[in-house]
Amino acid sequence: MILFKSSSRYKLLTLAIISVFVSEFNNAYAQGASQWRGVNRDGKYNEKNLLKKWPEKGPQLLWSFEQLGLGYAAPSIADGRVFVNGESFGFSYLYALDLNGKLLWKSPNGKEFMGAGFSSTYPGARSTPTVVGNLVYTSSGKGRIACFDVAMGIEKWAIDMVKGLGGYENEFGYSESLVVDDKHVYCFPGGSNTNIASLDRFTGKTVWTSKALADTTSFCSPILVNLPSIKILITFSRHYLFGIDTKNGALLWSYKLNGFKYDGEHCNTPIYENGYIYNVAAEALGNGTVKLALSSDGKSIKEIWRNKNIRNDFGGFVKVDNKLFMTVEKNWLKSIDINNGKVIDSIKMNYGSIIFADNKFICYGRNGEVNLFDFEQKRFELAGKVKIEKGDKYHFSHPVIADGMMYIRRGNALLAYKIN
């Protein structure tokens, strides 16, 4: 009996130590990556001492770079550089700027998505680069994945998801911002056989491919969920939210999106925290905002609640404390109780993208207006606004914050505002 209890305690202690080690390793690794919607892909930026209120005319615009061509791709900031995808004469380029907006280098990455018919209304760069150490990974809208060195922009390797991996390009191209771990790059070619793939991040060689659900791509940038016994890739396809074992590509579970419409967008990156997955879709008759419980072994999910009326296509959402925050149709910024999915608070705000830092929300509306909402007192207080006049076409990009600077992409222009 005593030996059994001691053995049990030893096993529990060992598991606890392993769990802490895995958590600390993943946190340390995440902090070394600059990527889509922040180090954890959740729209939250670890910034302090930001302006509590913006000047009447908005924060100071320090510089603008207006040679990016067509696109909506947000930047990544790392190693004293700004990395952003752009387009020129139908070709994709990765640009590296210094922190004063000066071009350091510009490297080609094949053809860019320009569309045909209705999709030609939305041409240009889509993906945010992922920077890990001295390497930067990116994808063109036509599905060419490339790895470049940070210093000079020299291409280390490249692979075409259509020609090289048997992928299927949907009618609006590839929009995935690549997720990377210590050894691998994960991508969604979308083919009937090679649906999901894992690549060696140093050579580009294929590690495994997965048929998964054999469903076509959506526009989601995935997340990695690290549990003590398994690491899971979670993303959207056209008809499902699903989880993949990153060790071998095995399909673990799937969650069907109801009320699907042919041109519906599933762009929002899911959020995982404390055993739960949160996701938001846009179909009028579909799932809306959903909370799912992920089993401790990562192999199954269970729906906790859904709110069909809270919908968002590609503006993203953030989780702060016990609430979800997002803009919704008919121009509202709303907060939702994560325990039951009910709306707690609302304020008028043009439909658009949202990020969070230093107890403040920054919302970039599709009307071109950026609003600052102070949340220090746990309620929305409008604390400033600025109109984005430079650049061209749509206001679709997501803001980025780094070292007291706010970066906004609009078409050919990248703008840098001082907000501390």
Domains of the chain, CATH where assigned: 32-418 (2.130.10.10)
Q: Please name the amino acid found at residue 85.
A: N
Q: Please name the amino acid found at residue 270.
A: P
- Running DSSP on this structure, what letter comes out for residue 321? T
- Running DSSP on this structure, what letter comes out for residue 412? T
Provide the Cα torsion 129, 135, 140, 145; round to 10°: -130
Task: Give yes or no for a contact between 307 and 288, defined as CB atoms under 8 angstroms apart.
Answer: yes
Task: Give yes or no for a contact between 359 and 372, defined as CB atoms under 8 angstroms apart.
Answer: no
Q: Please name the amino acid found at residue 241.
A: L
pLDDT for position 286: 72
pLDDT for position 33: 78
Task: Give yes or no for a contact between 37 and 43, defined as CB atoms under 8 angstroms apart.
Answer: yes
C-alpha span between 106 and 81 (Å, rounded): 13
pLDDT for position 17: 39
Q: What are phi and psi of 146, to 5 degrees?
A: -140, 150
C-alpha span between 295 and 232 (Å, rounded): 12
C-alpha span between 299 and 126 (Å, rounded): 31
Q: What are phi and psi of 6, to 5 degrees?
A: -60, -40
- Running DSSP on this structure, what letter comes out for residue 71? B
Q: What is the pTM of this model?
A: 0.92
Task: Give yes or no for a contact between 407 and 400, defined as CB atoms under 8 angstroms apart.
Answer: yes
Q: SS3 string of 217-244?
A: ECCCCCEEEECCCCEEEEEEECCEEEEE
Q: 387: buried, middle or exposed (CB in 10 Å: 19+, 13-18, 0-12)?
A: exposed
pLDDT for position 25: 40
- Please give the C-alpha separations between residue 281 and each of 58, 232, 306, 327, in angstroms, as whole numbers: 32, 21, 11, 12
C-alpha span between 353 and 68 (Å, rounded): 21
Instruction: Find all residues with CB under 8 Å of 29, minimum gap 6, and list them.
Output: 181, 182
Residues in the chain: 420
pLDDT for position 29: 44
Helices then strands, each counted (H, E), the chain:
1, 34
Report CA 195 to chain centroid distance, whole Å.
20
Beta strand 360-365 with 369-374 is antiparallel
Structure tokens at 275: 């055993």
Q: 14: buried, middle or exposed (CB in 10 Å: 19+, 13-18, 0-12)?
A: exposed
Task: Give yes or no for a contact between 125 and 104, defined as CB atoms under 8 angstroms apart.
Answer: no
Give the residue ranges of the chain where pLDDT is below 70.
1-32, 260-265, 284-285
Task: Give yes or no for a contact between 360 and 374, defined as CB atoms under 8 angstroms apart.
Answer: yes
Residue where the block lists tokens 């009326």: 309
C-alpha span between 417 and 407 (Å, rounded): 6
